[in-house]
Amino acid sequence: MVEFDMPFAARLSPHADRVRQHTKAWVRDMGMLGGAPWTEAFYDAADYGGFGPLTHPTASLEDLKHINDWHTWGFYLHDVFREGFLRPRNVPGGKAFIARLEEILASGSVLPMNPAEKGLADLVSRSSLDDDDRAGVTDILDGLAWELHNTAQGRVPDPIDLVEMRRKTNAGDLSAALAQKSVSAELPAELLRNSTMRALVDSFGDVPGLRQEILGFDAFYGSGASTTSAVLAVQQFFECELQQAVSVVADLVAARLRQIESIIAELPSLVQEYHLDEEARAGLHRYVEALKSWLAGELLWSQRSGRFSFSPTPTRKSFHSPTGLGTAAVLVRQ
């Protein structure tokens, strides 16, 4: 059993219950609870409605509903793609599925034909997406196509290639952008393009992606659904035992967290370099705090969610008193 350290504290939004109600109504309206891949029991056990309240604890109720719909759609997309195309190695079907989603992202005139398409079409219709946002969604779709081609060929990617592509598949940039918007952090574009800020976002994206590959190894990768696993890549590259590979990936997660802390310590010099005014400084502070809350909340959600350990008779654990695997994050109510 792997214990994950977390240097940041998790908090729970006061809107958690209302967001859970909204999200379940939304996924039902989109047709996502039809039994493949999500049954209602699995959805309840995973507690997708509780993801946003932990990762965006300071967002307003309306913003949080919208943010959580995006994250929930992302979870559904990965699950339906894995079970519908990755596991059966259906390359033509997977390519057609992705092409349809790309059309919906580019045009509001495409008639959605399935829950994944319906969910994306609904989100696009009520979101103010800029070019970076659309690029973030496109990255997810490109990452799925890459994963499908590797899996169909029985190929385990090189560890470095896998880490870089996993950032796209897990929407690290898009998640960071949602975090920034949730706290109304208006920052200069040139600052966000700075190499230090890019390293912060890359490390932020690596942490949950790599950690969930450990937590979900038995359910997703050990079962043969996909070959694009950091654990498998390390095991093959270093020709080591499975548990050693898990330890290496866990060490990489810890290293990324240390890098995030180091980058945060460097930000005062960026403030000076870019001559940020008081408003921009406050926005940068809110943005960094939002990323920290996101990471701590995602860990706590992953530990408590039944997404990785669903049983037919689930009991959802309370988020009010964190216990168990690696719970360095302390949960407090606002």
**Which tens digit of pLDDT belongs to each residue from 39-65?**
999 999 999 999 999 999 999 999 999
Q: Please state, in angstroms and rounded to a whole number, the distance separating the CA atoms of residues 186 and 281.
A: 10
**Which tens digit of pLDDT belongs to each residue from 165-174?**
888 778 888 8
Q: How confident is the model at residue 2 (pLDDT cuts 50, 70, 90)?
A: confident
Helical spans, DSSP H, in the chain: 16-30, 40-46, 51-55, 61-81, 91-106, 115-125, 131-152, 159-169, 172-182, 189-192, 195-215, 230-238, 242-273, 278-304
Answer whether 212's CB lies under 8 Å from 86's CB. no
Provide the pLDDT for residue 260: 97
Q: Please state, in angstroms and rounded to a whole number, the distance separating the CA atoms of residues 37 and 311.
A: 14
The CATH number of domain 11-333, selected from 1.10.3720.10, 3.40.1190.20, 3.90.1330.10, 1.10.600.10: 1.10.600.10
Q: How confident is the model at residue 221 (pLDDT cuts 50, 70, 90)?
A: confident
Strand partners, 332: 11
SS3 35: coil
Q: Please state, in angstroms and rounded to a whole number, the distance separating the CA atoms of residues 274 and 277.
A: 9
Provide the pLDDT for residue 159: 87
Residue 90, Cβ density class (10 Å: 0-12 exposed, 13-18 middle, ≥19 buried): middle
pLDDT at 219 over 80: no
Q: Please state, in angstroms and rounded to a whole number, the distance separating the CA atoms of residues 120 and 70.
A: 8
Selection from 18, 308, 315, 291 nearest residue 325 by Cα: 308
Category of 328 on φ-ψ map: left (φ > 0), alpha (ψ -120 to 50) or beta: alpha
Q: How confident is the model at residue 217 (pLDDT cuts 50, 70, 90)?
A: confident
Q: Please state, in angstroms and rounded to a whole number, the distance separating the CA atoms of residues 139 and 135.
A: 6
**Which tens digit of pLDDT belongs to each residue from 83-132?**
999 999 999 999 999 999 999 999 877 899 999 999 999 999 999 888 88
DSSP 143: H
Provide the pLDDT for residue 1: 62
Q: Please state, in angstroms and rounded to a whole number, the distance separating the CA atoms of residues 178 and 70.
A: 9
Mean pLDDT of the chain: 88
Answer whether 112's CB lies under 8 Å from 104's CB. yes
Domain extents in the chain? 11-333
